[in-house]
Chain A
């Protein structure tokens, strides 16, 4: 199957969560969920759009906390059966994953990876962001999943509260033999605050240090860097297999869908585009002026527009929007 023609959906199919993380981009944690037939209506729209566009879908199912939902496995099975969806990830805090889920997870043929959020390499740092006891539970889940031969990645949300701990986090990932890590900047939306974000100089120093660490990792751990700003560290990279830098697919080949059907350009770019259940995916994707504005790089303002690295970066539109109120503004954490 040629899946080079890909579209990414990040589907937050429930809001309910057992944690209340300090940087969470959610404002509400409704316990009620969409009826399953409505989830299927959304899934069918996704599959129908992929067929129409002759594309193949990569879907991340998340929440809230996906393992808190009775709909998780029926929905996974439904998506797994579509020939238009080639890869499914689950994004979770890991605290509800127990051995009883393992057999069900094994049934999902296209389950590519389970991503567990880990905001520190030790309990004190992680728990300061996510709550007491959450680190131990997440670690138990990581070990259980690795023992069961699942591909596991970790997501570290970089913020003031844990900026001192990224090296411990990387060491932890190596020790636990996880497959990949993503270190992503916090976006000041939802519970995230402007004071949580790092300065451009702090980001520069940390990204540079991470690149040097990644050059000499003793394991096959993949440090994901196909994201905005990482291209600025390319001259430090010595790993020929590393994929450094990447133009954000927002508005082009990616969408986020929330628990009530609201569609966002990206989960962190909190501008509602419409509701997939009432407006329909095609109407949102074709009509929405915000998406058309984002699609045209000429609409960028500030230093991103004339940057030499534009083709490999473009900055994070969500950070620009959350900090300046203008989603086409410069990425305020860029140091060049």
Chain B
């Protein structure tokens, strides 16, 4: 289970890019491409080495009219999936 007090960042080989309503997370080593929706893009964009993911989730959720607990559940699911895919890593 993801600890919301932990800090996560994008791995160095991943970048986020967007054009209009299209969003991607791109692996510059393997060439893998992940198409994202806007919310997922916003969550990954918010990852910062100086703040826990609870703050990031809170920051992004304030942009959307979604119940906080629902948003948090979905965000945790996204971040867990990103950990499994080695897109993000825990900062220690």
Residues of chain A at the chain B interface (Cβ within 8 Å): 48-49, 52-53, 280-283, 286-287, 292, 295-296, 298
Contact = CB atoms under 8 A, between A and B. Distances in A.
- Give the interface SS of chain A, mostly helix, strand, loop or mixed: helix
Contacts of B33: 53
18 contacts: A48-B31, A49-B31, A52-B30, A52-B32, A53-B31, A53-B33, A281-B31, A282-B26, A282-B27, A283-B28, A283-B29, A286-B28, A287-B15, A287-B26, A287-B28, A292-B17, A292-B19, A295-B19
A281 B15 CA distance: 15
Nearest to A298: B20
Nearest to B28: A283
Contacts of B26: 282, 286-287
A298 B28 CA distance: 25
A53 B32 CA distance: 8
A51 B15 CA distance: 21
A293 to B, nearest CB: 10
B31 A296 contact: no
Interface string B20-47: 1000001111111100000000000000
A291 to B, nearest CB: 10
Contact of B29 (A49, A53, A282, A295): A282
B82 to A, nearest CB: 17
A53 B26 CA distance: 12
A50 to B, nearest CB: 10
Given A280-B29, A286-B17, A287-B15, 5 more contacts: A52-B30, A52-B31, A280-B28, A281-B31, A298-B20
